[in-house]
Amino acid sequence: MKEFPSCFGENGIQIDHPSSSNTNKTNAQNRVTCVYSYHSFRFSGFITVTWIKHLVAQGLTIGIENPSKQPLCRVDIKPWLFSSKKKGFKNLVLNSTTVNIHWDLSSAKFGSSPEPLQNFYLAIVLNQELCLLLGDSPNEAYKKIDSVSTPVVTKAKFVAKREHIVGKRLYTSKAQFCEKGEMHDIRIEYDPSEGFGKCLVICIDRKVVLQVTQLMWKFRGNETILVDGFSVEVYWDVYNWLFGSVNMSNGIFLFRSCVSGEKLWSNVSPNKPSALSWNGWERSKDVDLQQGHGFSLVLCAWKNE
């Protein structure tokens, strides 16, 4: 069994997040963080969009980093209570980088997740180039973007996502493991039978791809599965489900694809699996997101007793 990939590597992406020690079931599933990479002659780097859900309002945070992981800016669009706050724009100039952000969520529809489902747009223009456009209302976004902005030259690549999921024995999410692949349903089932018979089952599109028995011994581990013809490394850490306190009863799951077909983290030690941290995720110094490696999904699964 391979060692869990380090969540804090020297070449990683730092993500804004709540501390795991302060996160509990009362505020779980209150944010979804998405990371995009973008490369062109005008701008290269990473864009992080964190969708936040509060009791009576929604909000989002945008972080922009250069390829050296140095933050260029962070923009907080605070939770809104009135429709006038649900759309707008911000223009900034930081370190010779012009940042223009346009958004309209006044008609957005949401499900249980903080991430909007439809009827919205979020456009990020860097140095007069449209780098990231989210949502299903692109024509409305184009009307708001300055006319000197050039069209998208290279689409931003969706490289990582992190989210909270809550359940008792069943946890679900969705992921697209390669750029042109299908959207897949992820299903995690936990059988909390007494004794050492506790069992963990992971399904992709209702097909069992991984089954772990005797979880009291195998509460941390990793396996490789195939999705859309590509290798996907699956790491799990359910120590807190079995031995943690009530407020820390969360399991951590990491899915990461390798579109080149090579195994991920092949150089790490197979002898000592370490805990998979929820404090963030980083690119391993041996793994380059631009050199054939695909999408990462980190799930924090909270037990709702």
Split at pLDDT 50, 70, 90, the class of 249 is confident
By CB atoms closer than 10 A (0-12, 13-18, 19+), residue 206 is exposed
274 falls within a domain: yes
CA atoms within 13 A on the CB side of 213: 1
Residue that is last in its domain, among 99, 131, 153: 153
Query: Of 126, 114, 18, nearest to 65 (Cα)?
Result: 126
**Domain of 107, in residue numbers:** 41-153
The residue among 289 and 164 whose pLDDT is bigger is 164
Split at pLDDT 50, 70, 90, the class of 251 is very high
Query: Token match 């998979």: residue?
Result: 276
122 falls within a domain: yes
Is residue 230 domain-shared with residue 296, that is, in the same domain?
yes
6 falls within a domain: no
Query: Of 3, 14, 17, nearest to 278 (Cα)?
Result: 17
Percent of the chain with pLDDT over 90: 28
129 falls within a domain: yes
Is residue 126 domain-shared with residue 248, that is, in the same domain?
no
Is residue 232 domain-shared with residue 184, that is, in the same domain?
yes
Interval 29-82: pLDDT, tens: 578 999 999 888 778 889 999 998 877 677 889 999 887 777 888 888 876 655
24 falls within a domain: no
> What is the arithmetic mean of pLDDT over 224-248?
86
Whether 166 and 304 have beta carbons less than 8 Å apart is answered as yes
Sequence letter at residue 236: W
Distance, CA of 72 to CA of 16 (rounded, Å) = 14
Q: Which region, left, alpha or beta, applies to residue 138 given φ > 0 means left and ψ of -120 to 50 means alpha? A: alpha
Q: What pLDDT was estimated at residue 85?
A: 65
> What is the arithmetic mean of pLDDT over 8-15?
29
The residue among 65 and 3 whose pLDDT is bigger is 65
Q: What pLDDT was estimated at residue 6?
A: 38
Whether 295 and 159 have beta carbons less than 8 Å apart is answered as yes
**pTM to 2 decimal places:** 0.77
Whether 228 and 177 have beta carbons less than 8 Å apart is answered as yes
Is residue 147 domain-shared with residue 167, that is, in the same domain?
no
Q: The tokens of 70 are what? A: 């140095």
Interval 153-184: pLDDT, tens: 557 889 999 998 888 899 999 888 877 778 89
